[in-house]
Amino acid sequence: MSNVTISVRFRPLNSSERRGYDDAICFQALDAKSFWFTDEKEDDVLFCFDKVFYPDCGQADVYEFLAMPIIGDAMNGINGTIITYGQTGAGKTYSMEGPNIFDCDEHDKGLLQRVVDGLLESLKSSTDMAKCTLKLSMVEIYMDKIRDLFDLSKDNLQIKQGKNQEMYISGATEISISNALEAMRSLSGIANRAVGETQMNLASSRSHCLYIFLVQRESVTDGRMRTGKIVLVDLAGSEKVEKTGAGGRILDEAKKINKSLSSLGNVINALTTGKTSHIPYRDSKLTRILRDALGGNSRTALLCCCSPSPSNASESLSTLRFGTRAKLIKTPLIAIAS
Ligand code: ADP
């Protein structure tokens, strides 16, 4: 059994896709885990995942499946990671932050706000707790440098290894959170995230963004302090460089993004062999940070975000193939820390 869960989310068609392709979609749902995918250039392909979120699925469905088990584990000292992957415009940031992080109604809230609520709720209702803290750091990997979104003067943070061999970002600002309003204020760091304009999407994200929650809870029963880390990763767009219509700085950014995403693909490929030696984590900052999530004592949920339109079929197909490879990761199911 694996502790890596792979899901797919198809967002609703947008207006330009509707105009261009007459409401056509590139998949045919079979059930909650599988669908046929149609690409004009290839035969239909059958895909199966742990879960498929079709366009009518809401944000709460995604949260319940992906994040709720991870929150429960974090309270028991087990780390969890949720990663959104896909081309620009496929719905990664919508799934993570909702349509507008600062102003969205309950129904539209993304994983980020729901994880804050879920963690605060779990801490409030925990009966076996002497004291607790919840902290948040926010960084982005931009042009292969790690930048602190709470303090932009820290623009080249380094990854270090802790005493339990865990990877952490040294010097990243940690903000304590005790209520949801405070958390929302902290999240204003998102406004610092690097975005550029490409032909794919006017506000496509050109960086990988990581939200790192650290929850510490001291048990009344045994006096032990349990520390759980939840990392939410909103990856930069996975589209091919030539499709972005990029040149100059944007082209450099796109090359860096493609390089780190292919390192992620290489790490996933290596992990699917089941051998733990020679996993190329060191090839990029992204894979070094995600080392614990993909190969260690952590539960990981990968959400592959796709456009439902035939106009984006080849990018969606490559996202789905990425997810299919990740499904083969062989890491043993972690033991619950006691
Ligand atoms: P990405 O982060 O992958 O570049 P976005 O999350 O910014 O893409 O999504 C692109 C657009 O599609 C945004 O306007 C977003 O609000 C909308 N969108 C994405 N997913 C959904 C969804 N499931 N339901 C409604 N709108 C969505």
Q: What is the pLDDT of residues 165-211, one digit of tens each?
A: 888 999 999 988 887 777 777 776 566 665 544 444 433 467 899 99
For a mutational test of ligand 1's pocket, the pick from 8, 10, 11, 17, i.e. the residue with the most ligand atoms closer than 8 A to its C-beta, is 11
φ, ψ (nearest 5 deg) of residue 21: -125, 20
The first and second tokens of residue 161, run together, are 């290894």
For a mutational test of ligand 1's pocket, the pick from 94, 140, 235, 238, i.e. the residue with the most ligand atoms closer than 8 A to its C-beta, is 94
Amino acid in the structure at residue 147 = R
Q: Is 135 annotated as a binding residue?
A: no
Average pLDDT, the chain: 85
Q: How far is the CA of 18 from the centre of ligand 1 (A)?
A: 15
Q: What is the pLDDT of residue 101?
A: 77
Q: What is the pLDDT of residue 4?
A: 86
Q: What is the pLDDT of residue 338?
A: 33
Amino acid in the structure at residue 163 = K
> Looking at ligand 1, which residue's alpha carbon is closest to its atom 10?
89
Encode burial over 233-255: b for 16+ CB neighbours within 10 A, e otherwise: bbbbbbbeeebbebeeebeebbe
Q: Is 244 annotated as a binding residue?
A: no
Give yes or no for residue 334 having a pLDDT over 50. Answer: no
Q: Please name which of 265, 312, 291, 283 lies closest in space to residue 89, comparing C-alpha atoms.
A: 312
Q: Work out which ligand 1 atom sits closest to the CA atom of 53.
A: 23
Q: What is the pLDDT of residue 312?
A: 93
What is the pLDDT averaged over residues 231-243?
83
CA distance 185 to 207: 22
Q: What is the pLDDT of residues 87-139, one digit of tens each?
A: 999 999 999 999 987 777 899 999 999 999 999 999 888 877 778 889 999 99
CA distance 275 to 304: 25
User: Is the Cβ atom of 309 under 6 angstroms away from ligand 1?
Assistant: no
Structure ipTM: 0.99
Helix 248-271 to helix 313-327 angle (10° resolution) is: 30
Q: Please name which of 334, 325, 324 lies closest in space to residue 295, comparing C-alpha atoms.
A: 334
- What percent of the chain has pLDDT above 70? 88
73 vs 276: which has the higher pLDDT: 73
Helix extents (H) in the chain: 15-21, 59-62, 68-75, 92-97, 111-125, 180-186, 248-271, 285-289, 291-295, 313-327
CA distance 31 to 46: 12
What is the pLDDT averaged over residues 204-219?
85
Q: What is the pLDDT of residue 316?
A: 96
Q: How far is the CA of 338 from the centre of ligand 1 (A)?
A: 40
User: % helix / strand / coil in the chain, to the nearest 5?
Assistant: 35, 25, 40
User: Is the Cβ atom of 92 under 6 angstroms away from ligand 1?
Assistant: yes
> Looking at ligand 1, which residue's alpha carbon is closest to its atom 20?
91
pTM for the full predicted model: 0.91
User: Is the Cβ atom of 204 under 6 angstroms away from ligand 1?
Assistant: yes
Helix 111-125 to helix 68-75 angle (10° resolution) is: 40
Q: What is the pLDDT of residues 130-151, one digit of tens each?
A: 788 899 999 999 888 999 988 8
The first and second tokens of residue 39, run together, are 């690409």
User: Is the Cβ atom of 257 under 6 angstroms away from ligand 1?
Assistant: no
Q: What is the pLDDT of residue 248?
A: 73
Neighbouring CB atoms inside 10 A of 227's CB total 16
Q: Is 90 annotated as a binding residue?
A: yes
Q: Work out which ligand 1 atom sits closest to the CA atom of 88.
A: 4
Q: Is 87 annotated as a binding residue?
A: yes
Q: What is the pLDDT of residue 259?
A: 84
Q: Please name which of 121, 138, 144, 146 lies closest in space to residue 191, comparing C-alpha atoms.
A: 138
> Looking at ligand 1, which residue's alpha carbon is closest to its atom 22?
11
21 vs 147: which has the higher pLDDT: 147
**Lowest mean pLDDT segment, chosen from 35-39, 49-53, 75-79, 186-190:** 186-190
